[in-house]
Structure formats: structure tokens, C-alpha cells
Chain A
Amino acid sequence: MSAVLERAGLAVEGQAPTGSEHPGSRQTRARYVTLALIPALGLVMIIGLLTGAVATSPRDLLVLLPGAGGDEWTRYVLLEVRLPRVVLGALVGAALGASGAALQGLFRNPLADPGLIGVAAGAAFAAVAVIVLGGTVLAPLVGWLGMAALPVAAFLGGLVTTLLVYRLASHQGQTAVATLLLAGIAINAIAGAGTGLLVYMADDQQLRTLTFWNMGSLAQAEWASLAVGAGLIALAFLVLPLAARGLNGMMLGENVARHLGFSVHRLKLLVIVMAALAVGSAVALSGIIGFVGLVVPHILRMAIGPDHRYLLPASALGGALLLVMADAFARVVVAPAELPIGLLTALVGGPFFLWLLLRMRGRLG
């Protein structure tokens, strides 16, 4: 090995420790933390299944096994009420966590949260438009796409806003933080006004459907819509890892990424479309749930470093874990009523965002 290196132009000085990782590399830790998040998520999902108004014991989980007998009522509660809800929470949390990590890598900024920069608001506007105008103006679209109309519209809404924010905030490969956040404020305001206008036009039945949108909720969970959303989010999860190495290159700036052999243009397109797909589907399923995409990648980056090969899957797992946990909490804290989960994440995420701002104040200019 050393002879080879010498010929390759690297002088040989001393022997390297073999087998152990060099200090400064966090790859081993990243791998272990990411793997450890899998059983942790499983555990939290079980807790989520056992949490709720109807008392259940871990023994009752056996009814989920195929062919198991057991109490019909318990079976219904677990299989048709709680399981879809836990799965929805995991799916939405994973979508928000992974797309937050990807967008932050692309914008080269830890503040690029899908909620803050207006992507979720754009997706929500499009989704609300389908609900309110689905019977009239948008009837052909709904007729053609069926159940997929809502997530597809949300995806397109998210895509348009992401492209818009990127155009506004990037100049010659640099993203100005202030412009990014200000563009987010403007887009949130515009999309919010549009959504408000649609709500104003909505009839009573539509209004009931819409109320959960603005606060975000997992209460609408049912298998049919979950299947469509899960398909779209799964697609994003399959494609996003292709961007991991490119996003690592982007940590040194757009030009260096190019010199490292990455097509920056293709990378941007990939990340923006896939993040919009994940966020759009998540919004279509559960409304706007803020700050998950901000908090989760940030904490994980502190724990395992910013290597996107690990950060993307870890943020997906961490987002899922956080949202399932938050939802279990939201269901018991004011029982028998429940807190809207978007309220809860904002309550935690808001102060976290302020703390981040405070830390970055010197660099914001």
C-alpha cells in the first residue's frame, strides 16, 4: 500500500494506524446513530399504538398479527384508528425531516425549513384549492386524478414555491439568508391569503375539512389516502439518496462542487423536485406541520455531522420518531380532547428557531 502511495506522489512518512477511524471523522458514529434510530422508531411507534382514550395493553398488540382472534373492538381501535395514525405520523415526519435536510444542504443554510421558506404554505394552498374548487373549476383535474388529485396538487404547489424561493434567494451560487427568510415570509403571506380567500368561498362541509389544514393534524388518518401519499413519499425517499454525495460537495460551495465533478444544475433539480414531492404529499395528508424539518436535521447534524449519506436517512428516521412521539403526547395531554399537532411542533420549534437565529446573528448581517 505504502509503495503504491509513494508512486502515486504521496511521500510516505510513518505508518498510519490501520483499522481504527481517524479522529475528526464521524463516519462510524453516523452509521451507528442512524442504525440505532430504527429500533428507537419501532419502540416509539409501539408506544403510539398503545396510547389513546381506549385503554390497551401490550398484549393487545397481538391482534395485529394475521389470523389472531381477540376482541373485535380492540382490533378495530388498533388496526383502523391507531395504526394508520401512527403510520401517517411516521410517514409525514420522515418526509419533513428528510426534505428539510436536503433543502438545507441545497440552500447551504441550516434555516431552510420547508415551513419557514413557504414550501408547505404553497402546497397547502394548492391542496385547499382542490378541496374548495374540486367540484367546479378544478373538476376535470379531480375527475382525472381521483384520490391522487390532492397530493399531486400539493406537490405542484410546493414545487412552484420552492423554485420561486430558490430564484429569489440565490445569486451566483450564494444564498443570502436574509433574502431566503424574507422571501419565505412573503410567500407564506401570499399563499396564506390565497388559502384564506378559498376558505372564505368554502361551504360548511368543506370548512370542516379545511380547519385541520392550518394547524396540521394526523386525525384524518385512513388507509386509502395513506396508500397514495405513501407511494409518493416513498418515491422521494428512493431518489433523494442519489443527491447525498452531491450535497456533500455543495458544502464547499457551488463552484467547488462543480470542480468535484457534480452537475450542480441536475443536483438542484433533483433536490427541489423530490423535496417538493415529499413536502407536498405530507401536507396533503396532514396539513402544515412546521419546524420538524428544521429541528430534526439540526440536532442530528450536531450528533453525527453533516455527511448527507447519513444525515438524509437519519433525518427521515428522526422526523418520524419526533412526530409519532409528539402525536402520542398530543393525544393524552388534554384527554379526552387532543391538541392539534402543528400547534405542538410550533410550540417547541418556534423557540428553537429563535435560539438558532440568536446563534447565527453575527453571520446574518
Chain B
Amino acid sequence: MSALTQAIDPPGDSVLEVSGVSVRGQRGWRLQEASLSVMPGEIHAVMGPNGAGKSTLLSVLSGTLEPDAGEILFDGHPLPAWCPGMLARRRGILPQETTVSFPLTAWEVAALGRLPHATPLEDPEIVRRAMHRMDVLHLAPQRYSDLSGGERQRVQMARVLAQVARPAPDPAAPVLRLDEPSSALDLRHQFELFERMRDEARAGSAILVILHDLNLAGRYADRLTLLHDGRVAAQGRPRDILDATILERVWGVRARVTPGAAGAPLQIHLLGPAHEPVRVG
């Protein structure tokens, strides 16, 4: 993937740039000098144990939380300087949970992704394709509230895809920001979701995804940022940074990491909690 990514976009051309972001909480720092960048064509995973600062980072990235220090650049411009409508056409956000307040059909939920756009003629086609890609097109006439947790998550994902889909060619890369998009999915749909994300990235999207599953991250993420106690503990390609030492330091678990030979994905076997969890900070 990395080679392909570089072929499309040279590194350094990041569409989302987080630099030195700090957020103060009631008990110390929730996020401290966190920096990361997401480039068009890459899947960038953010991982970390509970309370590591992932949610804080996401709030800052979506503009709902003002950082105490640092800056976020979206396509080279500070996030607050963006016009909300323009941003909405370029950036799709999948929250961990979405409550729908009225009895909408699955189709209607996905179609809400087209709200920021003024392209009524192409819209049904875009919504249809987005739903097809998330394997929820057959659920279109059903009530959203009648769907299972995984089906709802896929419908929401279709909504996000529909939101950033562009009927006309557009050099500006869409950015997807996904918060645990596979948490409710069965195994097959987990893989399918990330295959679709890989297609999206190939087509030029920049994808930032919060993940808990180490093996999915090892298999699909081009780059990884590990958060621990509000700080960036490690950053780089999964095969370069995921090893037994860091898993024990960050998560307090024992694991055996088998590097995949020649392009095969990383295998991570969790063995259990570490006898003496190391707490940093």
C-alpha cells in the first residue's frame, strides 16, 4: 500500500495536519503535544487504551473542542477558518454511535449524507452506490430502528461515503474520520469494511480511523499513531512499531507478534495481561 500511496501523492502533502495539540482536562492533560498527519491515499489508524486521549483527539479534529495549544490544518488552512458547508462536502465523520430521532428508513438515513450538496439529480445514484458498497442496499426500505447494531453501523458508514462522494471529478481529496467503524460488525463485514476503505484510499481519500483491533490495524493501516496517557507513544508503519514491548508498555498485555513474510500481514497473538502492568506517567 505504501508504495502505491507514494506513487499517487508524494509524502509531505498531508490533507490533515495536527501539530502540537494539547488539551487540558480537570485532572491534568487529556492530550499533550500530539502531532500527526494524514495524507491522501492512506489509512491512518489511531490506537490506544481507554483514556489515552483518542476521543479528545477526535473532538479536536471535528472542531467540537477547542485545543488549549497547537493547531489543526485541513488542506493547509486552519480548521476554524473553513466554511462549514465546504468542510462538510470534503470531510465525512462517523461517530461511535448515532441516535436517529424519527422513524427513518435505512435509505433515508444514508441519503441524509447528501444534505451538504446541491446535486439532486445524481443523488439517488450516489446514495444507491454508497449503500451497495456497505452491503446495505437490500435493507434500504427497512426502518433504521429495526436494524441490528452492525447493520446500523454500515448504514451510517454508507451515509458518510455518500457525504463525501463527488459526482464530478475533483482533485481535492475527501477526508474520512471514523470512530471504531467496525465495533459492531461481524467478521466478514469487518474485512469488507476495510477493503472498501482501502478502495477509498486508492481513489485518493485520506482516512483517519480509531481502532481497537490490533490485527485489523496491522493488516490495513498504512500508518499508525499509538496514544498513551495523552501523548503520542509511537508513530509509523504497523510492522515497524507494533511489537511485544510496546504492546506491554501501552496496553499492559503480553503478546506474540509474528511479522508477516513478504507482504503478508502482521499476526498478533494476545497471550494475556502482563504480570506487572507498567504504568507510564
Contact = CB atoms under 8 A, between A and B. Distances in A.
Partners in one complex: yes
A331 interface: no
Interface in A4-29: 4-5, 7-14, 16, 21-26
Contacts of A9: 165-166, 174, 199-200, 203-205
Interface stretch (A55-63, A123-131, A197-205, A244-252): A244-252
Interface stretch (A85-93, A259-267, A272-280): A259-267
Given A249-B112, A260-B116, A301-B102, A10 B122 contact: no
Given A251-B100, A305-B104, A259 B91 contact: yes
A256 interface: yes
Contacts of B106: 24
Interface string B110-125: 0111011000001011
B169 A22 contact: no
Interface string B56-100: 000000111000000000000000000011111101110100111
Contacts of A258: 62-64, 84
B26 interface: no
Interface string B158-190: 010101011111100010000000000000000
B140 interface: yes
Contacts of A26: 105, 108
Nearest to B111: A25
Contact of B107 (A7, A25, A256): A25
A200 B92 CA distance: 59
A8 B107 contact: no
A359 B166 CA distance: 41
B112 to A, nearest CB: 6
Contacts of A5: 125-126, 129, 165, 167
A11 B199 contact: yes
B245 interface: no
A261 B84 contact: yes
A305 B115 CA distance: 16
Contacts of B266: none
A7 B112 contact: no
A10 B101 contact: no
A5 B122 CA distance: 9
A26 B203 CA distance: 32
A155 to B, nearest CB: 27
Contact of A21 (B99, B109, B124, B205): B124
Most buried by A among B102, B106, B122, B141: B102
Interface residues of B, number: 58
Contacts of B127: 22
Given A4-B167, A261-B85, A306-B102, A256 B95 contact: yes
A74 interface: no
Contacts of B258: none
A1 interface: yes
Nearest to B139: A24
Contacts of B113: 260
B26 to A, nearest CB: 16
Contacts of B92: 259
Nearest to B161: A10
Contacts of A24: 105-108, 140-142
Interface-central residue, B127, B174, B203, by most chain A CB under 10 Å: B203
Given A23-B107, A260-B88, A305-B105, A13 B132 contact: yes
Nearest to A12: B129
B103 A301 contact: yes
B98 A4 contact: no
Contacts of B221: none
A263 B88 CA distance: 12
B47 to A, nearest CB: 23
B207 to A, nearest CB: 11
Interface of A: 1, 4-5, 7-14, 16, 21-26, 108-110, 245, 248-253, 255-256, 258-263, 301-302, 305-307
22 contacts: A4-B167, A5-B126, A8-B169, A8-B203, A10-B126, A10-B129, A12-B129, A16-B124, A22-B140, A23-B140, A24-B108, A110-B102, A249-B112, A249-B115, A253-B99, A256-B93, A260-B112, A261-B87, A261-B116, A305-B105, A306-B108, A307-B108
